Chains A and B, each alone.
Chain A
Amino acid sequence: MTTTVHAPPTTPESTEPERGNWHGANFPTQIVVLTGRSLRAMLKDPQIVVFSLLHPLIMLTLFSQVFGKALMGSIAAQTDSYINYLMPAILVTTGIGAALQSGVGLVTDMKNGVIGRFRALPIRMGSVLIARSLADLFRTALQLVILLLAATALFGFSPEGGLAGTVSAWLLALLVSWSLAWVFLAIASWVRKEEVMQSIGFVAMFPLMFASSAFVPLDALPGWLRVVARVNPLTYAVDASRDLCLALPVGAGVWSAVGTSVMLLAIGAAFAVRGFRRPL
């Protein structure tokens, strides 16, 4: 036989499904399709990625220029330049900011009716949440890479931990971001109000960011603020990221940051799915 004969299809593939023929995609397909949807929207509208980078880029510029010289003395034990001290913190705070955006995005979707349509489809609601968190995680990963490149090219970021340390800090920041994204998704699916989500950013996140070791060493803070900073979980996430980046002795800090993140992720996911299932 020299030629391949293609048998004509016995039943011509109908473009129109028979009534009720499509019963819903399986769970993994739902997640893949929904994640693809969010990523596609992101690629078509890269402004969102660029715009959400402005905030950390401005912080990076201002802080490195304003505090750089003044703080050299107090951070000398850890690194020899402020940008190296600052960057691991920027990774974490940017990741947290992105996590908050996950929650805001979910509320927006709930409001404009897209979620309503998904609800009336034969799919699991959990896949909508997982897809959003995965797409946002991907976006955050991309943003952090851009930030790292910018810090290296513009401000001479070159941490003692080298590439390996930087990559580990990047991974840690992503884990923290992902776990907090689930916390914010949980809040979003119970609260369902855009204004509330936005104000969490101001009322909770902003003070937490400054009452921590993110931008200055704890010793440089006034006494009462130091107490706040000591119990602020952000301090521990930032310290862990810094340990990895600056090749400082990696102690229990990193593992407790990882453990706390995984725990928050589990709790957040459980509440998010439960809250999200509630009727609109």
Chain B
Amino acid sequence: MTRPPIEVDHVSKEFGRFRALDDVSLAVPRGSVLGLLGHNGAGKTTLVNILSTLSPPTSGTARVAGYDVVRESRSVCSRIGLTGQFAAVDEQLSGLDNLVLIARLLGAGKRAATRRAEELLQLFELTEAAKRPARSYSGGMRRRLDLAASLVGRPDVIFLDEPTTGLDPSSRMGLWQIVETLVDDGTTVLLTTQYLDEADRLADSITVLSSGKVIASGTAEELKAEVGQRTASATLADPADAERALSALTAHGLNPVHDQERHVVSAPVDSSRELAVVVRALDEAGVEVDGLGLGEPTLDDVYLTLTGHSTGSAVRSEERKNT
């Protein structure tokens, strides 16, 4: 099969008068990860729901693993795994029973189902908790079980809908490693996230959604280049130095801004060499500094650059539309 495992062709989705997705097209090549980036209400989950056959598109077509998500939904279902935003495990069943249930529904015999379940429990380091009801699991364990459940049938395509939201850093890291193993194995992954660093770490390419529209796509590097600059920021030892710091930086050709609450002066910089310029400028002006940092562009910066307005207002205007 030479077609890409995920193909989205001019898909729109309307809920009443609200347009959740607006003419979205994308393709994900085999064995790669597409990071779908966007804030709440941007349409990420709507797209995942369409691709996992949970809801049909209003217009346009989508194919997953070569099958049409509307006309061949059952074939799609037997080749995908879905891990939702909220861990969808049966709280009352044990981890083992949860996985056996999925395997049995997929058509495995009792013994094969149990063996597959045990294998996955081991892979996800849940063997010790295998017999305990899932309701006693921690958030991280639950998320691992949920991911394991979506892998039971060795799917070609996996949808991860904000898989690390609400997880502690070490659980996050563990999940990332698992995803990387899957991809090395040839699985195609569509990952939605609000975190640029997550997309940066996992995704081969990134598509940014805003208000249901694709506003940018490319590799993480390309996006960052588009967003441009990183930000150098200096925390002032003496708040009274703010004016002096601003004029010193301006004199060196930078565009500094002053955060009065946190006593931070910051300026966009093109390279780490320019960070040195900032240091020198402040030093020459005799401004004493408590802390100095170089910030990576955030999703907010991407939004700001691409849409011309900040994410906060984008989300708010969308909420207004919803009501």
Q: 9 nearest interchain CB pairs?
A: A113-B88, A279-B55, A41-B92, A22-B106, A122-B77, A122-B78, A120-B82, A117-B88, A22-B107
A30 to B156, CA, bound (A): 23
The reply on B279 being an interface residue by CB < 8 A is no
Is the beta-carbon distance between A121 and B106 smaller than 8 angstroms? yes
Q: Which of A95-126 contact B (CB under 8 A)?
A: 112-114, 116-123
Establish whether residues A40 and B156, one from each chain, have CB atoms under 8 Å apart when the complex forms: no
User: Cβ of B108 < 8 Å from any Cβ of A?
Assistant: yes
Partner of A22, one of B78, B82, B88: B78
With A21-B153, A114-B89 already in contact, 12 other A-B pairs whose C-beta atoms are closer than 8 Å:
A15-B112, A17-B108, A19-B154, A19-B156, A29-B104, A116-B88, A117-B84, A117-B102, A117-B150, A121-B77, A122-B78, A279-B56
For chain A, residues 119 to 158, give those with C-beta under 8 angstroms from any C-beta of chain B.
119-123
Cα-based distance from A17 to B116 in the complex (angstroms): 8
Q: Is B237 engaged at the interface, CB distance under 8 Å to the other chain?
A: no
With a cutoff of 8 Å between Cβ atoms, the chain A residues found around residue B53 in the complex are 119-120
In the complex, what residues of A have CB within 8 A of residue B140's CB? none
Q: In chain A, what residue has the closest Cβ to B79?
A: A20
Question: What B residues does A17 contact at CB under 8 A?
Answer: 106, 108, 112, 116, 153-154
Chain B interface size, as a band, is 35 or more
Identify 11 residue pairs between A and B in the complex whose beta-carbon atoms are under 8 Å apart, listed by A's number: A15-B115, A17-B154, A19-B154, A20-B155, A24-B74, A25-B104, A117-B150, A119-B54, A120-B82, A121-B78, A122-B77
Q: Is the CB of A44 within 8 A of B153?
A: no
Partner of B106, one of A44, A45, A112, A122: A122
At the interface, yes or no: B227 with Cβ under 8 Å from chain A? no
Instruction: State whether the Cβ of B97 lies closer than 8 Å to any Cβ in chain A.
Output: yes
Q: How far is the CA of A172 from the CA of B101 in the complex (A)?
A: 33
A1-48 interface with B by 8 A CB criterion: 13, 15-26, 29-30, 33-34, 37, 40-41, 44-45
Judge if A280 is at the interface, Cβ distance under 8 Å: yes
A29 to chain B, nearest CB (A): 7
Q: Which B residue's beta carbon lies closest to that of A25?
A: B107
Given contacts A18-B154, A23-B78, A119-B53, contact A113 B107 (CB under 8 A): no
B265 at the interface (CB under 8 A from A): no
Choose one: B103, B105, B119; the contact of A30 (CB below 8 Å).
B105
Chain A at the B interface: SS class: loop
Number of cross-chain contacts by CB at 8 Å: 119
Q: How far is the CB of B122 from the nearest CB of chain A, in Å?
A: 11
Chain A residues near B101: list those with CB within 8 A: 33, 37
Residues of B contacting A279 in the complex (Cβ-Cβ under 8 angstroms):
49, 54-56
Residue ranges of A at the interface with B (Cβ–Cβ < 8 Å): 13, 15-26, 29-30, 33-34, 37, 40-41, 44-45, 112-114, 116-123, 279-280
The answer on a CB contact under 8 Å between B84 and A113 is: yes
Assembly CA distance A44 to B93 (angstroms): 8
Given the known A-B contacts A20-B79, A119-B53, A120-B53, are A25 and B106 also in contact in the complex, defined by CB atoms under 8 Å?
yes
**Nearest CB in chain A: distance from B54 CB, A:** 5
B162 to chain A, nearest CB (A): 13
- Closest chain-A Cβ to B80's Cβ sits at a distance in Å of 6
**CB of B192 within 8 Å of the partner chain:** no
> How far apart are B20's CB and chain A's nearest CB, in angstroms?
12
State which residues 68-108 of B face A: CB under 8 Å. 74-75, 77-82, 84, 86-94, 97, 101-108
Report the minimum CB–CB distance from A189 to chain B (whole Å): 15
Q: Give chain A nearest CB distance to B144 CB in angstroms.
A: 15
**Minimal Cβ-Cβ distance residue in B for A33:** B104
B149 in the interface, Cβ–Cβ < 8 Å? Answer: yes
In the complex the two chains form, what is the Cα distance from A18 to B156 in whole Å? 10
Bound: A129/B97 CA distance, A: 20
The yes or no answer to B164 lying at the interface (CB within 8 A) is no
Chain B residues with CB under 8 Å of A123's CB are 77, 105
Do the beta carbons of B78 and A116 come within 8 Å of each other? Answer: no
Let me know if B97 and A40 touch, CB within 8 A: yes
Query: When the two chains form the complex, which single residue of A15, A116, A120 contacts B80, counting CB atoms closer than 8 Å?
Result: A120
The interface residues of chain B lying within 8 Å CB-to-CB of A117 are: 82, 84, 88, 102, 149-150
User: Which residues in A have their C-beta under 8 angstroms from that of B92?
Assistant: 41, 44-45
Q: For A24, list chain B residues within 8 Å (CB).
A: 74, 77-78, 105-107
